[in-house]
Structure 1
Amino acid sequence: MSLLEEALCGDKNAAYDQAAKKVLSQKKILAFILKRMVEEFKDESVQDIMTKYIEGTPLISQVPVHPDETNLEYERIQGNNTEDGSISEGMVRYDILFQALVPKTKEPIMLIINIEAQGRANPGYSILKRATYYASRMVSSQRGRDFYGDDYDKIKKVYTIWICMNAPKDMGNSINRYRMTEERLHGKYHAEQWQYNLLNVVMLYLGNRKTQDKLIEMLRIIFKEKASALVKKRQLEEEYGIRLTEDETKELSKMCNLSEGVYDEGVSEGISQGISQGISLEREASLRNLMKNTGWPLEKAMQMLNIPSEEEARYKEILKKEGELSS
C-alpha cells in the first residue's frame, strides 16, 4: 500500500490494528507464542501454559512506555481490559502486556507482545532498537512497584516479542532472538545466568509464503491469508487444536473484515483522489495523517517520513495555508 493509500484509510488501519491486538491477546494464541519463543516454556504443553502460567487478562494498549507514565498507569489497572486503546491519546503504549509464572519456580516474568505493521523495512528508525528500549523500560519501571531500594534480586525477567506482519521478502519467515550473554575474557569464574539474563528481544518476521515453522505458519494464517474468519477458524482447529469461542470468532471476523476494508477502500479511494498526482501529494497526506494520529509536530513527522530538508519549507507553507498549522 502506498503512502497516500495509508493516509486515506488511516482510521481503518487504526481499527484493524486494535482488532489484531485483541485476536493476538487471546490466551490460546499467546500460549503457542510462549512455547516457541520463551525458553522457560519450551517443555510445557500449550494447554498448561494457557491455563496455569499466563496470569490475569492481558492488557491491550493501556500501559504507557515512557518514564513517569508507566507505573502510574500500571497501578491503576486491575488486570481487566475495560477500554480500547487509542492512537490519538498522544501516549505511546505497549501493545499487549501480561505476566506469566515460570514453571517449577513460579517466579513471575513480564512479557510484552508488539504487533509491528510497518510495510517498510526502515520506518525511519531501527525497530530492533525500539524493541530494546521497550524491554529496558519494563525493567526500570519495576523499581518502586516490584522492588524497593537496593533489592535488585527481585527484578523480573522481561521478554519483548515483535511480530512484523509486512516484512520484506529477504526478512520474511525469520525469527531472531537477542539477549545478554556472558563473555569470559579471563579466569575461570562464571556468573549464574539468572543474574544477568534479564532482557530478551525476539523479532518474528511474517512472510507471504508457507513455511514449515509451526508458529510462523499459524500467525501467517491468522494475519496474512486472504480468507474468511470461518475458514481461518477451521484451520486453527484442525491444524493447531485451537477452538475459538463465539466471542473470539467475532473478534477474528472483525479483524478479517477490517483487513479487506483497509485494502479495498485504500485502493478505490486512492484511485479516485488521483494517485498519479505523485509523491508530493502522498507525502502531504501522510504528514497530515501522521500528525493527527500521533500528535507529533510537523518537524518530527517530516523526519519520520525521511522528507528531504530542501522540501521541508514547502510542506510547512502548504499546511499553513490549509490551516493545518498555526502561523
Structure 2
Amino acid sequence: MDKEAFIKDEGLMCYDIYFYIDLPQVDQSTKRVYINIEIQNKTSPGYHLVTRGIAYSSRMISSQWGREYDDKNYDGMKKVYSFWIIPQVTKSKDGCINQLKIAENHLSGNYQEKRESYDKEEQLMIYLSKEHSPNDKYESYDEILMPIGALLNNTLNYQEKNEVIKEYGLEYEEFEERMRDMCNLGEALELEARQEVSKRKNIEYVRKMMTKLQMTFKEAIQFLEIPEDEEKEIEEYFKS
C-alpha cells in the first residue's frame, strides 16, 4: 500500500512497510488485517518508541474511514498490527519481544464484550543487540530473531550474515531483498543520502498537496515548514 498517510490538519506519516493480508477463514470468507513494519536504529530519539507506535496504529485505523468502515458501520474496522524492530539496544534488552494490545478489564460485574469488537490494535516491539553472538541461540523465537538480527548487525560481514541466515533455510540475497525497503536498514547510507532523499520526498509531498488538496505552492511549503534554501530548489523543479 501507499507508505504515505496524509490527513489534513493531522500531517503526513511515512511508514517503512505497509500492507494488508486477506486471511482465509473456515467459513470460506476472508479476514483482512493491516500490517506496518518499522526499523528504528535510534533507541532514544527523544520520545518513547511505543508512543510513536500508538500514533502509527491509530493512523492505520483512521485511514480506513470510508474504505473499511464509516459512521453507519464501525464494525467494518479492520485490525492493525505495528511491528517495531530496534536492532541497536543494549545487551540486557537483547531478544525481548513486548506485545501491547487492547484488553478488556472488568471493573464491576462479569459481562464480557465480544473480543472482535475491541481487538483492533496490536504492537510488537522487537529488541535486538549487535553484540549478540551468531553462535548463541535465543531462548524463544530464535527462528525469527536470529535471521533478522544477523541481517541488521553492522558488525558482521557478508559471509557471516549469509552463514547465519542459510542455517534457517533462507538465502541472504532473497532475505535482504525483502527487507531493503525499510528506511533504516543502513543508517550510514541514510545519513549520506539524507539531503537528496529529503528534497525528493518534499517535492512529492508538495506535488500531492497541490493536486489532491488544491493547495498553492506557497501554502504547501508553509504547511510542511520547508527551509527557505530548499524552497528555492523545489520551486525551480516545478518551474521546469
Smaller-chain TM-score range? 0.5 to 0.7
Aligned equivalents of 1:166 and 1:201: distance in 2? 19
User: Which has a greater percent of helix?
Assistant: 1
| Superposed CA offset, 1:234-255 (max 9, x none) | 43222x11245x6x37749x99
Matched, 1:116 2:43: no
| Superposed CA offset, 1:253-286 (max 9, x none) | x99xx989939x99xxxxxxxxxxxxxxxxxxxx
| Superposed CA offset, 1:110-144 (max 9, x none) | 010011121xx421122111100100111111111
Matched, 1:236 2:165: yes
Partner of 1:209: 132
| Superposed CA offset, 1:54-81 (max 9, x none) | xxxxx5xx422342499xxxxxxxxxxx
Partner of 1:67: 7
* SS class of match (1:167): coil
Q: For structure 1, list consecutive stretches of 5 or more residues without a partner in the other structure.
A: 1-58, 71-89, 267-287, 296-322
Q: For structure 2, list consecutive stretches of 5 or more residues without a partner in the other structure.
A: 203-228, 232-240
* SS class of match (1:107): strand
Partner of 1:93: 14
User: Contact conserved, 1:66 with 1:137, CA < 8 A, in 2?
Assistant: no
Q: Which amino acid aligns with 1:166?
A: Q
Aligned equivalents of 1:66 and 1:261: distance in 2? 25
Under a length normalisation based on structure 2, what TM-score does the superposition of the two structures give?
A: 0.64
Q: Which amino acid aligns with 2:61?
A: V
Matched, 1:220 2:144: no
Q: Which amino acid aligns with 1:187?
A: G
C-alpha deviation, 1:91, in angstroms: 5.0
C-alpha deviation, 1:225, in angstroms: 5.4
Under a length normalisation based on structure 1, what TM-score does the superposition of the two structures give?
A: 0.49
> Would the alpha carbon gap of residues 235 and 142 (structure 1) be closer, same or farther in structure 2, given more than 3 Å must change?
same
Q: Which amino acid aligns with 1:222?
A: L
Partner of 1:146: 68
Paired residues in the alignment total 192
Q: Which amino acid aligns with 2:112?
A: H
Aligned CA-pair RMSD: 4.0
Aligned equivalents of 1:251 and 1:186: distance in 2? 51
Matched, 1:162 2:84: yes
* SS class of match (2:55): helix
Matched, 1:262 2:188: yes
Alignment of 1:19-98 (within 5 A): 59=1, 62-68=2-8, 91-98=12-19
Aligned equivalents of 2:102 and 2:187: distance in 1? 42
Alignment of 1:174-185 (within 5 A): 174-185=96-107
> Would the alpha carbon gap of residues 66 and 167 (structure 1) be closer, same or farther in structure 2, given more than 3 Å must change?
farther
* SS class of match (1:102): strand
Q: Which amino acid aligns with 1:229?
A: Y
Identity of aligned residues (%): 26
